[in-house]
Amino acid sequence: DLCPITVLLPGGVELDNIGMARIAKEAGAVIGHKSSSTTASGKVMQSDSIGKEEVQASIDNEQREVMELAQQDVVLDLMARFGQDVGQRSDQHNSDVLDLVQMENLRNQLCMFNAQGKMLKEQERVIGLMEVLAHGSVPDHVLEEYEKAAEEDDMQINSVIGKVHVHVVRGERLPKMDMFRDCDPYLITYLDSAEKDEVHRTHPQRKERNPKWGEETRYSWDLLNMTKWLTITVMDKDQVTKDDIIGCVNIDITALPFDQEMTKWYQLENPAMTSKVRESKIQVSVLKASLGAEADQSQSNGAAELVSPNISHNKTDQPPDTFPDPAQGPPPPPHTGVN
């Protein structure tokens, strides 16, 4: 028994693989020329001498050929190239509505940006006038104090207050983004306050809907006062078309406690295909370390590296021309989360 696969053709026409096989057979698209066998209806019209058994046999033979052809890769490739999964129709509708909403939001944002630009110019003009008046009426030492306070505020916003250590452990139940191809996931991870060159990308894992990541997904960034969001995007590698976005996870760094490693499962979000990623999630471990904890960790690592070798070499029973036992050497430093 053949389980039919239905796609949506341009214009809203639904067609399954059996129908596509009939079209391909009639057009000679698969074998390169018209089939030598005459259609059953043609045989019925040819002559009354052909018996009903021969006509029925011809019909059965043609039906069997169509069913075999419907399972071949060439028919599935045609459907994948020219059709769209019927199950994605509602997702596509939601995506179109979301695009319209986003376009409207973008238009509103442009209007607000234009109004803010005009307001900023007016504020600069008023500030200039106030500076002229202040220089004539406010003592210089008071102006210097105000300028110094403003500089300190700017420095405080961009000051480093710790480190963010991240490990993306694994994913579960990632969806297939194409009808006939499996999921080839990879990650793009970044922190909103980091530099552009600190965006990390992994290599794709072939045909893996439950990926596991190791040391390659351990990252560290400086934690600033302005740090807010950690964003992890799961992508699907595609060799033919552009890569697909499976879903994203946004982690609020400000809501996490200091010096406590938090490991949680996070639901993937993708407004364009909510139903597909309903059960998809990734496990992420985040450590927001304060400067004090980082300093203590560095000092303990340095002490282990400096003290342990000296103890090994200063043993009185150690022969002078031999090396110390490697087992007595310094222990490996604890992992700090840096990849």
Q: What is the mean pLDDT of residues 252-260?
A: 94
In this structure, the chain runs to a length of 339
* Per-residue pLDDT at 336: 41
Q: Which structural domain, as residue segments, surrounds residue 276?
A: 160-290
Residue, of 322 and 292, whose pLDDT is higher: 292
| Least confident span in 16-30, 124-138, 272-286, 295-309 | 295-309
Sequence-ordered list of residues with C-beta below 8 angstroms from that of 128, at least 6 positions apart, any chain: none
- Average pLDDT of every residue of the chain: 74
* Per-residue pLDDT at 85: 67
Q: What is the mean pLDDT of residues 81-92?
A: 65
User: For the chain, what is the radius of gyration of the CA atoms?
Assistant: 34
What 3 state SS string does 161-172 have? EEEEEEEEEEEE
- Beta-carbon neighbour count of residue 276 at 10 Å? 19
Quick one: which H or E segment has residue 267?
strand 261-267
Indicate whether 175 belongs to any domain. Answer: yes
Q: How far is CA 152 from CA 134, 144, 224, 291, in A?
A: 21, 12, 15, 19
**How many H-runs (helices) and E-runs (strands) does the chain carry?**
7, 11
Indicate whether 253 belongs to any domain. Answer: yes
DSSP of 45-71: HH-TTS-HHHHHHHHHHHHHHHHHHHT
Q: What is the number of domains present in the chain?
A: 1
Q: What is the mean pLDDT of residues 126-133?
A: 78
End-to-end CA distance of the chain: 51
* Per-residue pLDDT at 309: 41
Is the Cβ–Cβ distance between 334 and 297 less than 8 Å?
Answer: yes
Indicate whether 148 belongs to any domain. Answer: no
CATH number reported for the structural domain that contains residue 286 in this entry: 2.60.40.150
Q: What is the pLDDT of residues 302-314, one digit of tens each?
A: 544 444 443 333 3
Indicate whether 131 belongs to any domain. Answer: no
Indicate whether 174 belongs to any domain. Answer: yes
Confidence of residue 16 (pLDDT cuts 50, 70, 90): confident
* Per-residue pLDDT at 33: 41
Indicate whether 206 belongs to any domain. Answer: yes
- Rounded-to-integer distance, Cα 318 and Cα 76, Å: 74
Q: What is the mean pLDDT of residues 207-214?
A: 93
Indicate whether 40 belongs to any domain. Answer: no
The pair of structure tokens assigned to 143 is 């102006």
Indicate whether 278 belongs to any domain. Answer: yes
Q: Which of 128-142, 162-176, 264-278 has the highest mean pLDDT?
A: 162-176
